[in-house]
Amino acid sequence: MRGKFGDRLLHGYTWLIIAWLTAPIAVMIIFGFNDKKSKSNTSWQGFTFRWYRELFADSSLTEALVNSLQVAVVSTVLTTVIGTALGLALGRHRFRGQGTSNFLVFAAISTPELVMGASLLSLFVSGNTPRGVVTITVAHVLFSLSFVVVTVRARVVGLDPSMEEAARDLGAGTWTTFRLVTLPAIMPGVLAGAMLAFALSIDDYVVTSFVNGSTLTFPLWIMGAVKVGIPPQVNVMGTLIFGIGVAIAIANAIASRRRT
C-alpha cells in the first residue's frame, strides 16, 4: 500500500518538474498571440493570429530557423554515431588510450564555450576554411560529443556481456550481434544522448557565434533582435517547435499504448 502511495507521489512530482520546466514556454506561446503595436513584445496588448499568418514574413528569420534545424539534425546524427562508439569502447573494452580518451572527454566538457569557439575560429582561419553551416556542424559535434559519450557509457558500464557472448556462440557475426543484442541493450543511453545533443545544438549561441561566418542560426538571430525587440514570429516559431515536439510525444505514447 505504501508503495502505491509513494509511486503516485513520485508520479505527481515528475509532472510538477515537467510543469516547472515548461512554465516559461507557456509565456512564450501566449506572447506569440500578442497584438503588439510597437517593436517590443513584452506587454500584453490584445489577441491576434497575425503573427501566424505572417510567420515567414522575414526571410532571414526563416532561413536562420532552417539553418538551426539542419545543423541540429546533422550534428545529432554524427555525434550520436561517433559518441556511442567511443562510449561503448570506454565502457566495455580495455584498450590503449583509454585514460587519454577519458581525459579528453572530461577536458572537452570543462572547456568554456568561448574558448572552444575562439580556438576553433583560429583553426578555421589558419586553415583558410570558409565559415558556414559546415563549420557550425563540426563545432556542434565537438561540444556535444562528450555528453553522448558520458551518457552512453553510463549505460554500457556494468551491462552483462554474456548475452553478446551467447549470440556469438550461436554464430552471429560482429555486426549482427551489435545490431540485435548490444544496440537494443544500450538504446536508452543512445536515445538520451541524442536528445541531449539535439538540445545542445539547437540552443547554442556562444560557440556558433564564432564559427558561423555570415550564416545565422535561430539563437543568433534572436540575440541580434534583442536590442530592438524580438518580433512575435520568433515566439510562433518557438511554439511550433514545441508543438511538434508535444505531438511527437503524444503519438509516441499512443503508439506504445496500442502495442500493449
Partner 1 sequence: MNTPHNSPFIDPAFLRGMTRSRAASRRDVFRLAGLTAAGLALSACGVQGQKKAAPKPSEVAGFWSGKQKNGKVVFANWPEYMPEDRGPLKKFQQETGIAFEYLEVIEENASFFGKSEPQLRAGQPLGYDIVVMTNGMQFARMQALGYLVALDHKQLPNFAANAAPKYKNPAYDPNNTYSIPYTSGLTGIAYNTKYVKEPITSIQALFDPKYKGKVGMMADSQEIANFGLFALGIEPEKATKADWEKAAAKLKEQRDGGIVRKYYDQDYIDAVSKGDVWLTMGWSGDVFQRQLAGEPVAFVVPEEGGTIWTDNMMIPKGAANPVDALMLMDFLYRSEVAAELTEYIQYVTPVPAVKDLLTAKAAGLKGEDKKALEAMVESPLVFPSEADYTKLHGYVSPAQPADQEAFQGMFQAVTQG
Partner 2 sequence: MRRAKAAVAPYLLALPAWIWFAIFFVVPIAAMASVSLTTGNILEGFQQTLSFSNYADAVGQYHVQLIRSLIYGGTATVIMLLLAYPVAYWIAFKGGRRKSMYLFLLLLPFFVSFVLRTISWGFLLADDGILFGPLKSAGLLPGDFHVLATDVAVIGGLTYNFLPFMVLPIYVALGRVDPRVIEAAYDLYASRWAAFRKVVLPLSLPGVFAGVLMTFVPATADPVNARVLGGTGNTMIGNIIQTEYMTNNDYPTASALSFTLMAVLLVGIFAYARSLGTENVLEAAAR
What binding mask, one character per residue, do residues 74-93 give for partner 1 by CB under 8 A, x or -? ----------------xx--
207 scored as a contact of partner 2 (CB under 8 A): no
CA-based end-to-end distance of the chain? 25
227 binds, among partner 1, partner 2, none (CB under 5 to 8 A by kind): partner 1
65 scored as a contact of partner 1 (CB under 8 A): no
4 binds, among partner 2, partner 1, none (CB under 5 to 8 A by kind): none
> What does each C-alpha distance from 230 to 32, 39, 169 come to in angstroms?
11, 7, 61
259 scored as a contact of partner 1 (CB under 8 A): no
57, 109, 166, 183: residue in contact with partner 2 (rule CB under 8 A): 109
229 scored as a contact of partner 1 (CB under 8 A): yes
20 binds, among partner 1, partner 2, none (CB under 5 to 8 A by kind): partner 2
* 47 strand-pairing partners: 34
Whether 76 contacts 252, CB under 8 Å: no
58 scored as a contact of partner 2 (CB under 8 A): no
167 binds, among partner 2, partner 1, none (CB under 5 to 8 A by kind): none
51 binds, among partner 1, partner 2, none (CB under 5 to 8 A by kind): none
247 scored as a contact of partner 2 (CB under 8 A): no
What binding mask, one character per residue, do residues 110-129 give for partner 2 by CB under 8 A, x or -? xxxxxxx-xxx-xx------
Element (H, E) at 6: helix 2-31
Whether 87 contacts 152, CB under 8 Å: yes
The x, y and z cell numbers of residue 153, run together, are 557509457
149 binds, among partner 1, partner 2, none (CB under 5 to 8 A by kind): partner 2
166 binds, among partner 1, partner 2, none (CB under 5 to 8 A by kind): none
Q: At what angle do helices 133-156 and 183-202 cross, to 10 degrees?
A: 140
**Alpha carbons 95 and 32: distance in angstroms, whole number:** 53
SS3 state of residue 47:
strand
**Alpha carbons 220 and 25: distance in angstroms, whole number:** 19
95 scored as a contact of partner 2 (CB under 8 A): yes
Strand residues in the chain grouped as ranges (E):
none
The least CB distance from residue 97 to partner 1, in Å, is: 5
> What does each C-alpha distance from 71 to 65, 118, 135, 169, 172 come to in angstroms?
10, 19, 10, 42, 36
221 scored as a contact of partner 1 (CB under 8 A): yes
102 scored as a contact of partner 1 (CB under 8 A): yes
Residue placing its CB nearer to partner 2 in the complex, 51 or 218: 218
The least CB distance from residue 27 to partner 2, in Å, is: 4
Identify which of 165, 167, 147, 176 has the alpha carbon closest to the alpha carbon of residue 86. 147
